[in-house]
Amino acid sequence: MVRQARTFPFQNCLPMRSLLRSLPLAALVAAVACNDTAPDAADTTGTGEATPGGTLVIASPAEPDMLIPGLTQSIGGRMATDMMFDRLAEIGDGLNWIGDEGFTPRLARRWSWAPDSLSIAFELDPRARWHDGTPVRASDVKFTFALHKDPAVASPIAALIANIDSVSVRDSLTAVVWFAKRGPEQFYEAVYQAPIMPEHVYGKDRAGIRGSAVARNPVGSGRFRFVRWDAGTRVELVSDTANYRGRALLDRVVWTLTPDPTAALARLTAGEADFIENVPADQAERVDAMVTLRVFPYDNLQYSFMAMNLRARKGGAAPHPVFGDVRVRRAMSMAVDRNAMLGNVFGRYGRRSYGPFPRGLAVADTTLPLPAFDTTAAAALLDSAGWLRGPDGVRRKGGRPLAFSILVPQASKPRMTYAVLLQEQFKRMGANVELETADFPTFLAKMGGRDFDATLQAFSIDPSPSGARQQFGSEAAIVGGSNPFMYANPTFDAHLDSALSSYQPARAKAHMRNAYQQLIADAPAIWLYDVLALAGAHERIRMASMRADEYWAHIADWYIPEDERLPRDRVGPGTAAAR
Amino acid sequence: MRRYLISRLAQTLVVVLFVTTASFVLVHLAPGDPFATEDWRVSEATRERWRAEFGLDQPLPQQYVRYVANLARGNLGYSFSHRRPVADAIGDALPRTLLLVGVGGALALLGGVALGLYQAVRRGRPLERAVSGVTLVAYSLPDFWVAILLLLVFANWLPVFPAGGVVDPVMYDYMGPWDRLVDRVRHLVLPAGTLALITAAGVARYQRSALLEVLGSDFLRTARAKGVSERAAVLRHALRNALLPVITLAGLLLPALVGGAVFVEKVFSWNGMGLLAVNAIASRDYPLVTASVAVGGIIVAVGSLLADVLYAVADPRLRDG
């Protein structure tokens, strides 16, 4: 459907002049309010061709912590560095992580496996240059992995590349990555986690790299290069016009940092921004009704669930008095109407969960049966577990009431709403439920100390399902481990191991199905929803596909047709005017 | 006056030291860890290394002694969340807050005094009653609510002002000097207007009440009997006397303005001290929280000192005696 362009009645705000005429400061206010850089109305009569140019303005709440790939932990930092730094090869939109199927060349124009599969030789593209003009060399590949494996750097991805034993330089354009053991994820490990960094820029002070000047002035090899980062205000990248992969179609990408979601949305609707990655669900219909904007959900790798602590609070080894019993956990799963909650919180944009995975994951299986909403069966299950209703409606077992709290981060509006809805439904089942809200650091501290009964979680995962080992695996169910729910089942571990050692995607998916099925049967959590990723964009922005792990992966191929460009598209260091 | 000023400065120093110590202790005792993360890839060992890198593995008294020693050398520390010196982060944010609070406060005082004057002189008339009602409503409204309302009305429904930021992040660098000035003013209108609106109402109520008290005074009756016009009696004699409580209020207003700026800065993406402090608290950035509190304390103390000086200037009895 083609939408007609529309001019806002107050687009250039002249009508305000008559309103202000009677006020003493009318002239000044009118001059101030009506600047000559107000965006023009979009013209959809153009050809819509993909010619280079234009500025994409993203209103984003996420300020980078630093701009070093692999070390940055903020989403803002990841976005910017992924656009400025190339990997050896890029994962495909299908997010296959087994072998090298679906991966496309980036800095490496080709690669070859050793006969024993314990090394891969990456042949670099001789045209590749760092943004300061220095050629990309195999020694840079060696440096990058050495940096992340250096204990003094304490890189967050160190554990993810632990299977990489070393990198050697065969010649200036050939880097050989050596692995400690064979496995289906070898290629993924070598290329996905660590974009390649220039040694001559980042090699001077490894231990102090986070606080160094280069942490805020990156030099990469991607199709965008760094221009500026004004703390708290904006981050600006510009197309690298001499890039070995060809210039980005956009001239500039500017993130205007907008911490408040209402203000971010106001920037989009006022035409100050072209894109926001998260339109609040309760505003989506209103925004979508605006003819110059559109709202659309996109896949991501986040999913949300209510996890139950299987052991006593605060690190105890004893089973949790309520959730230690699998019958209670299953009853709780059956007691909640997940579809109704989804509608209540997200309206028509909600995406229900199909299990312990987001639907964008390659091994996602949307046919797995989840516990059906059945309050009668749930009540019977609680009765059979010995939790019987007392005269006040609250269930008791051995004099102990069926009482627990749900820990929820107050900054997350969907999770806060879900917590209230869950509380209500559990109460109907005879459970006395309290909500335990906390600011984010306190929430994390309580998680780390296992100081919770139940908690609403939103997990963000990588394309490989190996993250399930850290999240639900027995080995991580230790004090200070990454599985604070203390779920442990050797059968689940075995299925997961089988999946992660399979070289055939179909077999890996079948094993993962078994693992997920076991997890669902053990019910350590209630699988609630796939985290809603609802983007809002101006219609003049023509977008390429949005990859589930990084929606920004193809931004270099987004474009703005020439006849739909605004004044802001015609200025900047990367524009035709500047050249 | 000189001795008085020195004594007040010494008091200010003690207050700032106390506030800094209290905030240092409180923020360290608050649950949470600056390096806690939902990122399952980050192991406990990695987090421990990060904590050690910033000396957070040391006992709290040791950390405090080191902090004070650094402070004495003018080193405010290193921000965990911004990954740069605290002084740099504050150096960026403080001028923006001073501009916002300065303009908002000045507008609030001027507008509040003018409104209070009007209300006192036109007491009991229908329009005055309406103005009183409006100021009461404005006085009662929460800061963030007013900010969001103005944002929605003037940046969204009637897009006459920008939705946020200090300047246009995309076009500012490519504007001429006049356009830059206009751009800065446009971005200042809504946040400073919000601060002014919520504060002017309070000032107006104080001013009205003080003027009503003065308008019935003997000295004004005498002035009128000597043939001084009503306009001159009110503006030259009554207003000057009635300004004293408002000057006191102006001193107390500064903490309120700084507090109000926290919400206003968040809503309008105005990257000042308020936003910096809120984000620092949310990320448990201990050095930045402590330094932000110290800076806030200094602003409030200076404001209070300024009010005392102005009071002495306005009231000859205090100045001379």
Within a 10 A sphere around the Cβ of B181, how many other Cβ atoms?
12
Question: Is the pLDDT assigned to residue A6 strictly greater than 50?
Answer: no
Which residue in B294, B298, B207 sits closest to B247, CA to CA?
A: B207
Query: Average pLDDT for residues B100-111, to the nearest whole number?
Result: 91
Is there a contact between B267 and A267 if contact means CB atoms under 8 Å apart? no
| The Cα angle at residue A316 between residues A312 and A321, in degrees rounded to 5 | 20
Contacts of B271 in chain A (CB under 8 A): 231-233, 257
Residue B89 and residue A471: Cβ atoms within 8 Å? no
Mean pLDDT computed over every residue of chain A? 88
Residue B4's pLDDT is 74
Distance CA B38, CA B104 (A): 39
Burial A535-564 (b: 16+ CB within 10 A, else e): bbbbbbbbbeebbbbbbbbebbbbbbbbeb
Q: Determine the Cα–Cα distance for residues A222 and A550; give it in Å rounded to an integer.
A: 15
CA distance B291 to chain A (A): 18
Out of A178-192, A426-440, B35-49, which region has the weakest mean confidence (pLDDT)? B35-49
Write out chain B residues lying below 8 Å of A567, CB-based. 171
Question: If you measure CA to CA, which chain B residue comes closest to A71?
Answer: B42
B52 contacts chain A (CB < 8 A) = no
Chain B residues inside the 8 Å CB shell of A232: 92-93, 271, 275-276
Q: Look over chain B and give the mean of its residue pLDDT values, rounded to a whole number.
A: 85
Tell me what pLDDT residue B318 has: 64
User: pLDDT confidence of A47, banded at 50, 70, 90?
Assistant: low
Band of pLDDT at residue B320, cut at 50, 70 and 90: low
Q: Tokens at residue B244, please?
A: 């004293």
Question: In chain A, which residue's Cα lies nearest the Cα of B92?
Answer: A231
Percentage, residues of chain B above pLDDT 90: 20
Q: What is the pLDDT, as a whole number, of residue B32?
A: 84
- How many other C-beta atoms lie within 10 A of the C-beta of residue A576? 12
Could you give the angle at the alpha carbon of B104 between the alpha carbons of B103 and B110, nearest 5°? 85
Averaged pLDDT for residues A360-376: 93
Distance from CA of B102 to the nearest CA of A (A): 19
Compute CA B253 distance to the chain's CA centroid, rounded to the nearest angstrom.
Answer: 8
Amino acid identity for residue B225 in this structure: A
Contact residues on chain A for B148, CB-CB shorter than 8 A: 262
What pLDDT, on a 0 to 100 scale, did the predictor assign at position A43?
Answer: 35
pLDDT for res A110? 97
Provide, as residue numbers in chain B, all residues whose Cβ is less than 8 Å from the Cβ of A439: 32, 282
Contact across the interface for B186 and A446, Cβ inside 8 Å: no
Mutant choice from A19, A23, A32, A63 vs B, greatest count of B C-beta within 10 A: A32
A11 has a pLDDT exceeding 60: no
Establish, for the pair of chains A and B, how many residue pairs have beta carbons separated by less than 8 Å: 178
Residue type, A525: A
User: A442–B40: do the CB atoms touch at under 8 Å?
Assistant: no
Q: Please tell me the predicted confidence (pLDDT) of residue A310.
A: 95
Q: How many CB atoms lie within 10 A of CB B299?
A: 19
Best residue of A444, A461, A479, A568 to probe chain B, by most B CBs closer than 10 Å: A444
Tokens for A47, please give them: 């050809």
Distance from CA of A227 to the nearest CA of B (A): 12
Test B40 with A482 for CB contact under 8 angstroms. Answer: yes
Of A55-69, A345-359, B167-181, B213-227, give the lowest mean pLDDT range.
B213-227
| Cα nearest neighbour of B168 on chain A | A272
Instruction: Read off the pLDDT of residues A58-75 as tens digits, 9 standing for 90 and up.
Output: 999 888 999 999 999 889
With CB atoms and an 8 Å threshold, state whether A260 touches B269: yes
Q: Show the tokens assigned to A322.
A: 């309520």
Q: What is the DSSP string of B82-123?
A: TTEEHHHHHHHHHHHHHHHHHHHHHHHHHHHHHHHHHHHHTT
Between the alpha carbon of residue A563 and those of residues A271, A292, A560, B195, the distances in Å are: 17, 15, 8, 41
Contact of B137 with chain A, judged by CB distance below 8 Å, is answered with no
β-partners of residue A195 are none
The model carries a pTM of: 0.83
pLDDT at B319: 59
Q: Which B residues 207-236 touch A at CB under 8 Å?
A: none
B159 part of contact set with chain A, CB < 8 Å:
yes
Q: How far is CA A561 from the centre of its chain?
A: 29
Under an 8 A CB cutoff, do B158 and A16 touch? Answer: yes
CA distance, residue B161 to nearest chain A CA (Å): 6
B163 vs A272: CB contact, 8 Å cut-off? yes
pLDDT in tens, B131-162: 888 888 888 888 888 888 998 899 888 888 99
Residue A24, pLDDT score: 38
**Model ipTM?**
0.79
Residues of A in contact with B282 (CB under 8 A): 439-441
Has residue A26 got a pLDDT over 50? no
pLDDT in tens, A527-565: 999 987 899 999 999 998 899 999 999 999 999 999 999
Q: What is the pLDDT of residues A84-101, one digit of tens each?
A: 999 999 999 999 999 999
- Cβ contact B83–A270 (<8 Å): no
Cα–Cα nearest to A537, from A298, A289, A294, A299: A294
Query: What's the per-residue H, E or C state across A367-433?
Result: CCCCCCCCHHHHHHHHHHCCCEECCCCCEEECCEECEEEEEEECCCHHHHHHHHHHHHHHHHCCCEE
Instruction: Give the C-alpha separation, A208 to A150, whole Å.
Output: 12
Q: Summarize the confidence of residues A194-209 as an average pLDDT.
A: 93
What is the model's pLDDT at position A377? 97
Residue B283 is predicted with a pLDDT of 87
